[in-house]
Chains A and B, each alone.
Chain A
């Protein structure tokens, strides 16, 4: 059964309903309802105190403000409301527990690998895909793109697959769902690693190869820009749902612990920068619509601190900052407070830069978007060019 959602009973909902009833065209009515119901403050989880404290005119103002928004259609599997509820369960700004020291491989068998930090990687579902090669684009002007073969970062995902309650009486379902997921991930070469609900780390695609995890995506560190992150970043997925499972958090303690050991090992082995260990929601984009957040897994709640990373939600979203992309209000509603703040800061920087160049914001964004197209095309040609013998 799909996710269960509980709308709050409120005068606002009655107002939305009344207003919707006055829209004759069914498509326009649905458009309006979907837009309104995607607003967490109006549709879901609004506290009774707040509801009573607001007046109908105030509600009307909020509703009218919302009217020009054109939300991207998202299937019901990614409910904004539950994600925002889940946000409260695991604050994004956990104090970091930095990981230190070298990690090396202690043992390697056909079935598993063991590392000095206690990490065990299961190899039963391991597979190969296309060899990794990509371009890192220097941010400094005048420098040529650099061909690379080693990964430069990690993108964290949730699998959004079916999850059973994490209770002993559901052992059978827990095992069955996990195995189904791993088989599917192997078949589709979806990630480099999957952390199942028992905290086991499974290698799916070998790190030397590309995995189909990030789709259209972009990221930047202090020195380089990256596009099409399937080629350049490792994909680590947690078995779970962005919306959580009933009253459970998105991932459990065993998964958090495993993620800490895994990211520690990967960062040591590939010299990954901490700022390049980010979530799918931060890098995913819709290139035609020029919007970020095509996928929204881990838009909030990723326990950066517990995984041994700084709170990377504070980092600017590369596609907004460097490629002139925009975001939907729904994305903002889903985002961790730190991420939302970072997006607002980027907006301000872009507006300032546009003014300094004597351009409108739209013109400035359009110019940046051309950069994205250029880099994407260069990357595509490089990644899919045959090796010269």
Chain B
């Protein structure tokens, strides 16, 4: 009989542009731990250093500056009146942040720690290529694999959209469409009996909404993001120009996502004949605002897909669905 320790082995890791989430099993099912995938640079002083160490706040010291990363980055950004920065951009490693990879490594280490056995299995989420082809994500994937391998894990990538399917669609035998709407990109996957038929990514996602709305309203993107997360609802009528702009660009994002789905079916010549209508599940931080699912349904009404959709719903736990799916992928390979 396996020991308790062995019974709960296996890790799922969602490396998103906004958040990094780790999923594990426990006696009650699944447990999740997350950190913001962000950092802020603050001046290096003895006092700051002491506070960070005393409070156990993750940080790195770089000559004259300290990089505070993870959940506390936003707090320190507010304290020091600066913007948080992202180790990732549009779902990929941010080439403009030379410390990005190192920071991601520290965040993952803080969340997942090192492997509990010799080469514990771990699946990590990776974005799919853009619809219609484009840059491969080999470097991103290789770099993440290296990080987790260095922590002692036996690592395998899992497509982000497929992870959503693994998390949410066991009821349809992992047949259906999984969409992860993140900060940097949306990832879409159609799977049939667990096998991906197509998967791709779309560049318009949460950050796009923030940036465009910020440009339109003259507000800072960070501020727009906060307003979006705290106040925005689809179908509400707003007088506030920031919320209006968020509404416009959020709808644009949803329309682009639905357009892409139609295009993906058109491009894919070999879609299997699926007899029954299939479910579609939406997850990720950008799918959280009230009315998002209805907006998606409304947008989809005007399109014709070659497969019937039985239901469109939000993931049970949209912020953790990808990590959960990655964990299910891990467990199914053990």
Contact = CB atoms under 8 A, between A and B. Distances in A.
Contact of B329 (A2, A3, A73, A173): A73
B304 interface: no
Nearest to B264: A1
- Give the dominant DSSP class at B's interface: mixed
Interface string B110-154: 000000001100010000111111111011001000000000001
B167 to A, nearest CB: 9
Contacts of A7: 192-193, 195, 272
B133 A173 contact: yes
B272 A180 contact: no
Given A2-B128, A4-B268, A30-B174, A162 B332 contact: no
A-side interface size class: 35 or more
Interface stretch (A15-23, A271-279, A357-365, A379-387): A15-23
Contacts of A29: 170, 173-174
Contact of B198 (A2, A161, A188): A2
B196 A5 contact: yes
B193 A16 contact: yes
Contacts of B156: 73-75
B119 A30 contact: no
B134 A76 contact: no
A99 interface: no
Contacts of B154: 288
Most buried by B among A4, A74, A288: A4
Contacts of B166: 30
Interface in A26-63: 26-31, 33-34, 36-37, 43
Contact of B197 (A4, A34, A188): A4
A9 B138 contact: no
Given A1-B264, A75-B157, A30 B194 contact: yes
Contacts of B102: none
A188 B173 CA distance: 39
B138 A161 contact: yes
Nearest to B276: A17
Contacts of B170: 26, 29-30
B138 A184 contact: yes
Contact of A27 (B135, B200, B328): B328
A72 interface: yes
Interface in B138-194: 138-139, 142, 154, 156-159, 162, 166, 170, 173-174, 192-194
B331 interface: yes
Contact of B173 (A6, A20, A74): A20
Given A30-B332, A76-B159, A2 B173 contact: no
A266 interface: no
Contact of B135 (A1, A180, A187): A180
Interface residues of B, number: 47
B328 A30 contact: yes
B129 A2 contact: yes
B131 A1 contact: yes
Interface in B74-130: 118-119, 123, 128-130
A186 B278 CA distance: 44
B199 interface: yes
Contact of B196 (A2, A162, A188): A2
A164 B198 contact: no
A200 to B, nearest CB: 19
Given A27-B332, A33-B173, A288-B118, A13 B193 contact: yes
A71 B332 CA distance: 10
Given A6-B272, A9-B273, A13-B193, A75 B129 contact: no
B267 interface: yes
Contact of B199 (A1, A17, A28, A43): A1
A214 to B, nearest CB: 15
A1 B128 contact: yes
Most buried by A among B158, B162, B195: B195
Nearest to A288: B119
Contacts of A184: 136, 138-139
A4 B198 contact: yes
Given A5-B195, A6-B272, A75-B157, A27 B331 contact: yes
Given A7-B272, A27-B332, A162-B136, A1 B198 contact: yes
Nearest to A71: B333
Interface of B: 118-119, 123, 128-136, 138-139, 142, 154, 156-159, 162, 166, 170, 173-174, 192-200, 264, 267-273, 328-329, 331-333
Q: 6 closest pairs, A vs B, by CB?
A: A73-B333, A6-B270, A26-B170, A33-B194, A30-B332, A1-B200
12 contacts: A2-B199, A2-B200, A3-B196, A4-B198, A5-B195, A21-B173, A28-B332, A30-B166, A30-B170, A37-B195, A161-B136, A188-B142
